[in-house]
Chain A
Amino acid sequence: MSEPPRFAEWLLRRLVGGRDADAVAGDLRETLEARGGGRLWYWRQAVSCMAVRFSLYRRSLPGIGTDFSRALRRIRRNPGYALTAVLCLALALGVNTTLFSFLDSRYFRRLPVPGADRIVSISRERASFCTSRQYFAIRNSLHTINAAAVMDSGDPLELGRLGLSAWVESVSPNYPEVLGLGTVLGRWFGQDSASAAEPPVVISYRFWKTRFGGDPEVLGKQIRIVDKFHWVVGVAPAQFAGTIPPMVIDLWVPLRAPGGRATVNLVARLAPGATLANAAAEIRVIAARLRASDPRNDELASPPLVEPHMGFVWRFQRNFFLPVLTLLSAVSGIVLLIACVNVANLLLSRAAVRQREMAVRQSLGASRARLFRETLAEGLVLAAGGLALGIFLGYWTGRTIELVLPSVPYAMYRGLRLGIDWRVAMFLAAAGALCAVLFSLPPAFANSRGNLSPSMKGVDARNSRQREIYSVAQVALSLTLLIATGLLLRALDRVQHIDPGFAYDHRAYISLRDEAQNPTLFSTLLDQARQIPGVEGATAAWGVFPNTGGGCAAVAHGEKSRDLISNLVDPSYFDLMRIPIVKGSGFAPSGSFTNAPQVIVNEAMARAFWPGQDPLGKRLWFGPECTSDGKEAIGTVIGVARDAKLQSLGEQPEPLYYLSRFEDRGNGFYSLIVRTTGDPREWVQPLVSLVERNGGNVRIYKSGTLDAAVAESLWEVKWQASLLGAIGLLAIVLASIGVYGVVACAVAQRTREIGVRMALGAVPLDVQWMVLAHGLRITAIGIAVGLLLSAFTVRLLRGFLYGLSPFDPVAFAGASLAWIVIAIFASWYPARRATRVDPMTALNYE
């Protein structure tokens, strides 16, 4: 007698399942015995059964149309509950839409040009790819790519008058050809343009609309960029905003012909048939050649990056936002979870109402799978509704944010596109489907429960217990969000009261660059600035909050230099900025350029370089890479200045050294800072006129007041706190709907009991308290769980808190208290309704 192969039989039982598998296995065994063996035959038959089991037909679920039409009919009959569910989902999905379109624009979106998937960007980790001279030398030898050079201005450039500025890309003549760009009006500049007497400029569509009012006669008009007139020759296509998103480029000018050490990155189109790997290999060879030709240039040591042109080009920006985005994703994920729990609760309470119907149908022969599928179909319909409305909400939120963005102080945010493309749509569809499954499973199980008798009798405690647990989870999750928001708000409050370590009130500044590097110019400007009526003092410094300069130094000759922050200041700087010299003395009021400069260090540097020692008189070695003239220098520490904030109010003190502007050449960049008697804003214009009177070679980069600069540095944390606050608020609204729903449903189910109590003489206040206590009990457990949960999760916030402890008791207590108040309100209405129950109606109920 031949035995069937065990494993095949086991598989059959596993994959086909149920009595079907049993019957099939029996048939196979019987036939096997009859034909007297044949393992191979058995396997073939078993596999055919499994194949049929997983075939499309079996999976396409016959009768699926009926499931959906029934679901729709049920929703039509109770539009109220469906509307609530759809709204909850839409709010949560809307938040996720906006957030994901933000992520999309930052990491995945391609340039709006034809064949954008063939565009690659070529740069380096910490430097530009090459100089423009090198670009012009290599560009004709490239085989795998057609590359255009792009030099961004780094900062917006002044357009003639102060206060008008624009982002400019200097590009090689093949730029439009590489990107496949046309124009709306006019043409792009050609090969001859760079040296032309009338340098051309192409303006962006946005610039054309806003600055020229869409004037069709714009061609041939002049634009003064910094100090040079350019003639408008064309208007770029409407969607195109340059190759360094999120920066929105306004103007394109020709890259000056082979000259100078201006550095460029490349944007290139892969040649037909070439792949990214081909291009990367070719660029590596070119980079090695460049490095060999200029071995002293450290910038060329950084390895070249050849990447598809996607999202934001600057790597540091992509990395910079990672923590914030992770936080936001987590938060909006939690909101979505809360919404799902809400809908699950709603469906469960519907299931409670319909449990007798379900039990009756089941006893009449409806299969459990059938009831399960019907509930799932209902969930899918609700999710589809929520998704449609959610995308709509998300779209308009995105549009609204886009409208607000231009007023944001950071250029990085201004060019954000929050539109919805297929990636966003796909993500949301997936999120919606996941939600549907998440929130339909519990009610589906409830509806298809095997044991019928409690349902038939109309008493089933399991269902309401399950809903209470969900409600607890909601309270816990939203409490976590509320605590996180509270922490961020507290951190904001704290950071606003941080002492920056320098005086910033009544101080205006203007940032300049003297291209001729005339050593006496800034002395003249300072003298004249001091003569302006209302100016009580003036000083000059290389770096003004929040801009800093780099530097490096070693404690002993031959040791490796440490990267540091440096500032080149006028001797009057410490007095005017109210940064006390805590030890030693300040700089002498004059001096000459030397390779033995006097140095003032801050306390952090004194601690880091000479721990436990007196820093005065100590030596600092500046290697050639650390000085502005490329020669070695040995400095002597003559004083220690108190630590002051350099880049943000939240930072820890960092080592910094000061040099006197009389002893170091610098690179022509200086900011004039004046102390004023009145509102410093009124002294900005006089400073501008002063500079304009004095120099043909002076560029104005920026002007403003120090208190505005300090306030601007807080914008980031305000933005984070308010965004998280908004999402947290949404979570609270959703969760309080949840608590309300559970308490209200419990009241409805206990109508009879309440009626009996009232008939037996219970006072309305007792009944009210009973209902209220139910809501509060759920909330109390939720708060306990939420506090525990928060204790783990708030650690993730540490990087955002500016030194505030993540276990800040005020935030924890405040959030818990807020939830108790919310719970009282959410339970109040059902409690009131409970006391209105008429005992007679209640007893006749059902």
Chain B
Amino acid sequence: MSATYLGEFEQIVLLAVLRLGEKAYGVPIRAEIENRAGRKVTVGALYGTLDRLEAKGLVHSWFADATAQRGGRSKRYFKLLPAGVEALSGSKAVFDRMWEGLHV
């Protein structure tokens, strides 16, 4: 299987989804990225990336039933698929090899 190339932002999004586990939907994902990476992300950019990752088969999403909170709107939850985990660890391995023996 050919290695899936991941962009930096894609990696960040995947890692955020991975960190949040069961609670990964739009709002916490954005909060996680903002808190940890210190990046402001628009909702459009986030969903655009998530859609792309889903099309590549790296994440899976589903709609939870609507609740009385947030104006009765449903939530779209995300979960990493095995291919996503593999792509992430592949990317990490590339960086690890590139960093090996370097001190800056």
| Nearest residue, chain A, Cβ from B77 | A23
Q: A23 touching B63 by the CB < 8 A rule?
A: yes
Contact indicator per residue, chain B 49-70, by CB within 8 Å of chain A (1) or not (0): 0011001000000010010011
* Per-residue contact bits, chain A 20-49, to B (CB 8 Å; 1 contact, 0 not): 101111111111011000000000111111
Instruction: Given A23-B74, A26-B71, A26-B73, verify A49-B44 contact (CB < 8 Å).
Output: yes
Q: Does A325 contact B (CB under 8 A)?
A: no
CB distance from B16 to the nearest CB of A (A): 14
Does residue B27 face the partner (Cβ distance < 8 Å to A)?
yes
Secondary structure call for the A interface: helix
- Chain A residues with Cβ below 8 Å from B44 are 45, 47-53
Please report whether the interface of chain B is mostly helix, strand, loop or mixed according to DSSP. helix
Q: CA of A30 to CA of B44 in the docked complex: distance in angstroms?
A: 16
Quick check: B45 and A48 within 8 Å, CB to CB?
yes
* Contact (A26, B55) CB under 8 Å given A31-B27, A45-B42, A51-B44: no
Q: Which residues of A contact B69 (CB under 8 A)?
A: 30
Residues of B within 8 A of A52 (CB): 44-45, 47-48
Most buried by A among B45, B51, B63, B70: B70
A457 interface contact, C-beta 8 A: no
Contact yes or no, A26 B48, CB < 8 A: no
Tell whether A62 is near chain B: CB-to-CB under 8 Å.
yes
A62: nearest chain-B partner, CB-CB = B55
Given contacts A30-B27, A57-B52, A62-B55, contact A23 B45 (CB under 8 A): no
A27 to B48, CA, bound (A): 15
* Contact A49/B74 with A23-B26, A24-B26, A27-B25 known, Cβ cut-off 8 Å: no
Q: Is B93 an interface residue (CB 8 A)?
A: no
Q: Report the tally of A-B residue pairs with Cβ distances under 8 A.
A: 73
Bound CA span A627–B9, Å: 90
Nearest Cβ on chain B to A376's Cβ, whole angstroms:
19
Bound-complex Cα distance A35 to B43 (A)? 15
* B76 beta carbon closer than 8 Å to chain A: yes
Max chain A Cβ within 10 angstroms of own Cβ: one of B43, B51, B75: B43
**B79 lies within 8 A of chain A by Cβ:** no
**Cα distance A52–B46 when bound, in Å?**
9
Q: Which residues of chain A have C-beta atoms less than 8 A from B48's C-beta?
A: 52, 55, 57-58
A24–B47 Cα distance when bound, in Å, is: 8
Q: How close is A8's CB to chain B, nearest CB, in angstroms?
A: 12
Q: How distant is the Cα of A25 from the Cα of B70 in the complex, in angstroms?
A: 9
Given the interface pairs A30-B27, A30-B70, A52-B47, the reply to whether A23 lies near B76 with Cβ below 8 Å is: yes
Q: For A161, what are the chain B residues with a Cβ–Cβ distance below 8 Å?
A: none
**Is A77 among interface residues, defined by CB-CB distance under 8 A?**
no
Cβ–Cβ contact B63 & A19, under 8 A: yes
Between B27, B44, B55, the greatest number of chain A beta carbons within 10 A of the residue's beta carbon is seen for: B44
Contacts of B52 in A (CB 8 A): 57
Q: Is the CB of B71 within 8 A of A48?
A: no
Taken together as a complex, chains A and B put the C-alpha atoms of A422 and B43 apart, in Å, by: 44
Give the distance in Å from the alpha carbon of A50 to the alpha carbon of B47 in the complex. 11
**Closest residue to A44 on the B side, CB-wise?**
B42
The verdict on A25 contacting B27 (CB below 8 Å), with A44-B42, A45-B42, A48-B43 known, is: no
Q: A52 CA to B70 CA in the complex, in Å?
A: 23
* Complex interface: chain B residues within 8 A of A62 (CB): 55
Q: Which 5 A-B pairs have the closest CB atoms?
A: A26-B73, A48-B44, A27-B26, A48-B42, A23-B76
Kindly list 9 other residue pairs between chains A and B, CB separation below 8 angstroms, not including A30-B27, A58-B48: A22-B66, A25-B73, A27-B43, A27-B70, A29-B71, A33-B70, A34-B27, A45-B44, A46-B43
Can you identify 6 A-B contacts, CB atoms within 8 angstroms? A23-B26, A23-B75, A23-B76, A28-B43, A30-B27, A33-B70
Binding site for B on A (CB under 8 A): 19-20, 22-31, 33-34, 44-53, 55, 57-58, 62
